[in-house]
Amino acid sequence: MSIHSDSTVLRTVQRAIDIINCFSFHEQELSLTEISKKINLAKSTTTRLLATLEHNDYIQRNPLTNKYNLGKKLYLIGQIAGNSFDIKEIAKKSMQQLRDQTQETVSLYILENDYRVCIQRYGTTQSVGHIVKIGEKLPLWAGAAGKILLAYQSTEFINSILQNLDSSLIKKLEEEIPVIKKERCAISLDERGVGVSAVAYPIFDMSNSVIACLAVSGPSTRFTPTLIYQLKDKVKDEGLIISKELDYKI
């Protein structure tokens, strides 16, 4: 058994990692030549590294094209890593900062079946504010957070929610949803309850899917057009920070 220096071992590990990092959503299958060029390594060395990764199911080769893609072991590791992410912990700092900046209630919502559910909240620092209960199920068709989560679902899902609403509300949402997706922001004024307004922004993961929603809410009397304009930028900035922590690429 040969003994390698620490630097040699680390270099070999780094090269293996470099190979794995060659793959992306846009380049899911690569040839030996493409990989060796990307990592600036001789084909002979690249071949040996690929063989080791393939033996351990981190890389797999397509026998029809002789090209390589990521193996099932990385998929399983990705599932484990995904489950270990606690979005509440990731969002904590941004939510606290947003609450301190705005002095309004900041909430984090996720989709649960046909509803949105608040999973984390930082209450207003002012004497009068919007009370959001953690775990409470709220509609998707009313409120900024609900509309954000609804807008990024499939057409079939959206239609299943809209079909139970009155025609005027259906028309309003059908006009609003494309704008929400374009601006990546939703605003609500007295929608879910009289005197309550909110601004919300989607939270994206590494696959560009919306997995949650960040919202700032409070009394409509304080949500002036000027404040709403300011909140849109603040919620967007913190929402992007959370998304980037989830490896979202803009």
CA proximity to 200, closest of 208, 182, 212: 212
Q: Is residue 187 part of a domain?
A: yes
Residue 137 maps to which CATH number? 3.30.450.40
Same domain, 89 and 70: no
CA angle in degrees (0–180, nearest 5) for 168-171-174: 150
Residue of 144 and 3 predicted with greater confidence? 144
Residue 1: pLDDT band by 50, 70, 90 thresholds? very low
Looking at the fold, whether 177 and 237 belong to one and the same domain comes out as yes
Final residue in a domain of this structure, among 81, 104, 138: 81
pTM for the model stands at: 0.68
Tell whether 250 is covered by a domain.
no
Residues 207 and 126 in one domain: yes
Q: What is the pLDDT of residue 4?
A: 46
- The range of the structural domain enclosing residue 22 comes to 6-81
Question: Is residue 67 domain-shared with residue 128, that is, in the same domain?
Answer: no
Which of 65, 81, 97 terminates a domain? The answer is 81
Indicate if 96 and 73 belong to the same structural domain. Answer: no
Whether residues 205 and 164 fall in one domain: yes
Total domain count for the chain? 2
pLDDT digits (tens, 9 = 90+) for 146-197: 999 999 999 999 999 999 899 999 999 999 999 999 999 999 988 876 788 9
Please give the Cα distance from 214 to 93 (Å, whole number).
Answer: 13
Tokens of 168: 């005027």
pLDDT surpasses 80 at 85: no
Judgement on whether residues 74 and 120 belong to the same structural domain of the protein: no
In a domain, 235, yes or no: yes
Do residues 99 and 223 both lie within one domain? Answer: yes
Who's near 165: CB < 8 A, 6+ residues apart? 141, 173
- Residues 76, 102 within the same domain: no
Let me know whether 179 and 214 are in one domain.
yes
Domain endpoint, select from 27, 60, 81: 81
8 Å CB contact between 110 and 116: yes
Domain with residue 10: its CATH number is 1.10.10.10
Is residue 182 situated within a structural domain? yes
Does 5 score more than 50 pLDDT? Answer: no
Q: Are 228 and 199 in contact (CB under 8 A)?
A: yes
The closest of 100, 101, 95 to 241, measured between CA atoms, is 95
* pLDDT tens readout for residues 36-79: 999 999 999 999 999 999 999 999 999 999 999 999 888 877 76
| pLDDT tens per residue, range 225-249 | 898 999 999 999 999 999 999 888 7
Q: What is the CA radius of gyration of the chain?
A: 24
